[in-house]
Structure 1
Amino acid sequence: MAPALIVFDLDGTLLDTHADLVESLNHTIAALKLAPVRYEDLTHLVGHGAKVMIERACRLQGHPLTDEELPALLNRFIAHYTQNMPGKTHPYPGLIRSMEHLKSKGYRFAVCTNKLEGLARTLLDRLQLTSHFDAITGGDTFAMRKPDAGHLLGTIERAGGDPSRCVMIGDSINDILVARNAGIPSIAVPFGYSDVPVATLEPTTIISHFDELTSDLIEELLRSANSAFANGVVANTRHS
């Protein structure tokens, strides 16, 4: 049996990035003399990449963007965010310990994020985490992005994984939906940036700490998912 591949979202799942995202976002919209956003606003802003985050922040502060304004603001955000990485960003408690334990059992890892791939790779490089992952894909890696199943399935392919031996872990609706659309079990974490309780997103299961991410849990999820698929209980696109 092939080793299972565990695919992580980045912001709000692998890494607590909120302080640096807010700082760079406020630096960006200051060019328009807009009031800063707060951490409490972040859950309504993130999840679809930097462009959408900037657009939403400007709209929230009463300034809907024109098409002409966005490119310069995006460049301003990327420059500030990149220059200050990793800043205050850090892995969530228990993550590295859990990954090292699972790696010793043959499990492999990938990242599937709507963050620009270049930003994701730079951040993981500076945190010295890149070597943990067999693939890192972003919102601009493919022609589609989460929650389109193609983003997750493309990530699995790049990592050399098998969709029938894969689990997706995330903190937001896009993560749960991309897993559902790809016919892959999902694990939600409640400590990220979802603007609703993650239980309402109906993930396959929820863990409150990475200490709960065990091989027993992963194998049980995979057995249940593949049994349901074999019995025709769930619509599954993973073999298409």
Structure 2
Amino acid sequence: MTSLPSIVGFDLDGTLVDTSRDLAAAVNHALGAAGRPTLPVARIITMVGGGARRMLAQALDATGGYDPDELDRLHDALLDYYAANICVDSTSYPGVVEALDALAERGVTLGIVTNKLERFTRPLLGQLGLAHRFAAIIGGDTLGNGMAKPSPEPIRTMIEGCGGGRAAFVGDSIYDVSAAHAAGIPALVYRGGFTLEGVDRLGADGVIDHYDQLVAMLERL
């Protein structure tokens, strides 16, 4: 007989929600404030995963480099813009809501671990009508001291916040796989996320192409 983990955690950007256009708009707003050329969405989403500051640093590197003071100033501009435009074009991926329903119906407790700042994570989930589904929501700044993925601590905190038990994690990047494995739990990867190439080389315990495959894949772990 197969059984599901009692807890399933999820990354947010590129895993549950396609935030690519809103993130790209924020990055390009910051680049524009610096007189830099804008970047296409497809280029920017390859920079997502390590938090907003790292994403912006990569965008600045791609458009001429930066110094620390400029990064600080433009990071503030990016965050201010994103706060005011957090859910203009963002939407959950196909099948996400149905998969979350199916897991909840099976008694699985759900959590979020993202490197997005918690002050953006909660409003985004709220505007999408998803926040009430998660027993624990851990952002990139929730634990402080730079404690974000690929550190396993946010995932361990999520598991504790969900009541403890056998867990699995679903993400879309090497940050997610590395953090889950460091926390001692299996990791699944969603192929439709922001890792455009090399998904099968991330070392995940399974890959899903659509969320209608999630429950069966979790049962096989």
When normalised by structure 1's length, the TM-score is 0.86
Encode CA deviations 1:93-135: one digit per residue, 9 max, x unaligned. Answer: 0010111121111011111011111111111111121000011
Encode CA deviations 1:164-201: one digit per residue, 9 max, x unaligned. Answer: x1110000000111111111111111111115321011
Q: 1:145 aligns with which of 134, 143, 148?
A: 148
Aligned residue runs from structure 1 range 109-188, under 5 A: 109-142=110-143, 143=145, 144-162=147-165, 165-188=166-189
Paired position in structure 2 for 1:63:
65
- 2:58 maps to amino acid: R
- 1:136 maps to amino acid: I
Q: Are the counterparts in 1 of residues 34 and 74 from structure 2 also a CA contact under 8 Å?
A: no
C-alpha separation in 1, matches of 2:129 and 2:202 = 32
- 2:62 maps to amino acid: L
Q: Taking structure 1 as reference, are residues 3 and 53 closer, same or farther at Cα in structure 2, changes over 3 Å only?
A: closer
Q: Which has the higher contact order (CA 8 A, sep 6+)?
A: 2
C-alpha separation in 2, matches of 1:14 and 1:129 = 10
C-alpha separation in 2, matches of 1:44 and 1:192 = 10
- 2:149 maps to amino acid: K
Aligned residue runs from structure 1 range 219-234, under 5 A: 219-221=219-221
Q: 1:63 offset after TM fit, Å?
A: 2.5
Aligned residue runs from structure 1 range 66-81, under 5 A: 66-81=67-82
Q: Are the counterparts in 2 of residues 114 and 140 from structure 1 also a CA contact under 8 Å?
A: yes
- 2:38 maps to amino acid: P
Fraction of identical pairs, as percent: 35
Where has structure 1 moved over 4 Å in runs of 4 or more? none
Q: Are the counterparts in 2 of residues 42 and 193 from structure 1 also a CA contact under 8 Å?
A: no
C-alpha separation in 2, matches of 1:2 and 1:40 = 35
Unmatched 5+ stretches in structure 1: 222-240
When normalised by structure 2's length, the TM-score is 0.93
Q: Are the counterparts in 2 of residues 3 and 106 from structure 1 also a CA contact under 8 Å?
A: no
Paired position in structure 2 for 1:10:
12
Q: Which structure would you say has the larger Rg? A: 1
C-alpha separation in 2, matches of 1:12 and 1:23 = 16
Paired position in structure 2 for 1:103:
104
Q: Are the counterparts in 1 of residues 191 and 199 from structure 2 also a CA contact under 8 Å?
A: yes
> SS of 1:7's equivalent?
strand
Paired position in structure 2 for 1:217:
217
Aligned residue runs from structure 1 range 8-87, under 5 A: 8-64=10-66, 66-87=67-88
Q: 1:85 offset after TM fit, Å?
A: 2.4
Q: 1:3 offset after TM fit, Å?
A: 6.5
Report the aligned-residue RMSD. Answer: 1.6
C-alpha separation in 1, matches of 2:148 and 2:213 = 28
